[in-house]
Amino acid sequence: MNEQNHALFETLKLKNGVELKNRIVMAPMTNYASNEDGTVSDEEIAYYVRRSSGVGMVVTACTYVTANGKGFPGEFAADSDEMIPSLRRLAEAIQGQGAKAVLQIFHGGRSCPPELVPNREVVSASAVASVENPDVVPRSLSESETLNIIRDFGETTRRAIEAGYDGVEIHGANGYLFQQFFSPQSNTREDRFGGSVEKRMTFPLAVVNEVKRVVAEHASAPFIVGYRFSPEEATTPGITMDDSLKLVDTLADQDLDYLHVSLMDYKSKPRVGADESKSRLEWIVDTVRDRVPVIGVGGVHTPDEAVEVLQTGAVLVALGRELIMEPDWVSKVAEGRESEIKTTLSKQDQERLVIPDPLWQLIMIRTGWFPVEQ
């Protein structure tokens, strides 16, 4: 192994006592391959088994906590106890390869396609359409419905515990329901869930508290609770870097096991609300000040780039597309075989890489995301 890569393979003991065998995480990535009834498919199991042996922790694709939160076709469900055997099957597949299994829990809010939710009724913090889908105007959640969704996140956490997961990650990123409550663009509420930046934190913090309450009540062993967030929005008004740093500062005091920033490029600089003297990731790490581990992510292709993420002060580094193209990325780095890491896909690679059909079809369409040999 290259000497500078040793940092990637140091163990890490989280605050709750769970130990990760290295600093590399499989990032959560939707694969669109679950069964129609919301259960995990054989294709998904094979996909995760192929990628779980090297990393210290796998964060699953997101799973919806309530029927009106389903954000993608082929997304697996965790909204009822009937799904516990399906959830358990995925946890055991990941853990059988030596990685910790973390279930990402989710509600899509206004980002849900109407055809995927009951009565085609899309809901959100407020009746404000997104820039991406201006024709889909969501219905504003009542206060009682909001409280029910908070409880739904707790119930899904209980299911994760019963299914044998090592933890859950609260999906507060990428424009979904948590971000819709936190953003001044999508949250125009005048009750306790809207208004100032502090009031717009009410929903995310309530879910964090509910998840932690359920863990304290139901988990008999240390159980990971993480939170993922996106640092900025392109819209005006929208979430600024300053808003996000206030959220991060508050989350860092919530006794979480990690914070996971969602970035396309770990080197990207702030747009609004912080100066460009540091990257977004560096601003976040500096705000946290060692109170909670930070997972850095975004455009990490090489071991050198993964080490650079750790050098910012992030404690873990997540790989997404790299593990789709090269499931053996971790073992090749550990064995000093970096030169053998695959950096492109060919149209004949699907079977070798064990990629489900729906995800493969998307990759072939979006070749800008993945370098595909022609």
Catalytic residues: 176
Alpha-helical runs (H) found in 275-328? 280-288, 303-311, 321-325
Tracing tokens 């294709």 back to the chain, one arrives at 43
User: Whole-angstrom Cα distance, residue 352 to residue 84?
Assistant: 30
User: Pairing between strand 139-140 and 167-172?
Assistant: unpaired
103-to-167, 218, 292 alpha-carbon distances in Å:
6, 16, 19
Asked if 225 and 257 count as a contact pair (C-beta separation under 8 A), the reply is yes
Alpha-helical runs (H) found in the chain? 42-51, 84-95, 143-162, 177-182, 202-218, 241-251, 280-288, 303-311, 321-325, 329-334, 350-353, 357-365
For the beta carbon of residue 79, count every other beta carbon within 10 angstroms: 20
User: Whole-angstrom Cα distance, residue 300 to residue 322?
Assistant: 8
User: Whole-angstrom Cα distance, residue 149 to residue 151?
Assistant: 5
Helix/strand/coil for 357? helix
User: Whole-angstrom Cα distance, residue 43 to residue 267?
Assistant: 34
73: phi then psi, degrees, rounded to nearest 5: -65, 145
> Which residue in 162, 178, 166, 159 sits closest to 79, CA to CA?
159
User: Whole-angstrom Cα distance, residue 47 to residue 88?
Assistant: 16
Residues linked to residue 194 through DSSP beta bridges, in sequence order:
none
Residues linked to residue 228 through DSSP beta bridges, in sequence order:
171, 260
Token pair belonging to 186: 């999508």
52: phi then psi, degrees, rounded to nearest 5: -100, -5
**DSSP character for 141?**
P
Q: Is the dihedral of CA 237, 251, 144, 75 positive or negative?
A: positive
Asked if 106 and 64 count as a contact pair (C-beta separation under 8 A), the reply is yes
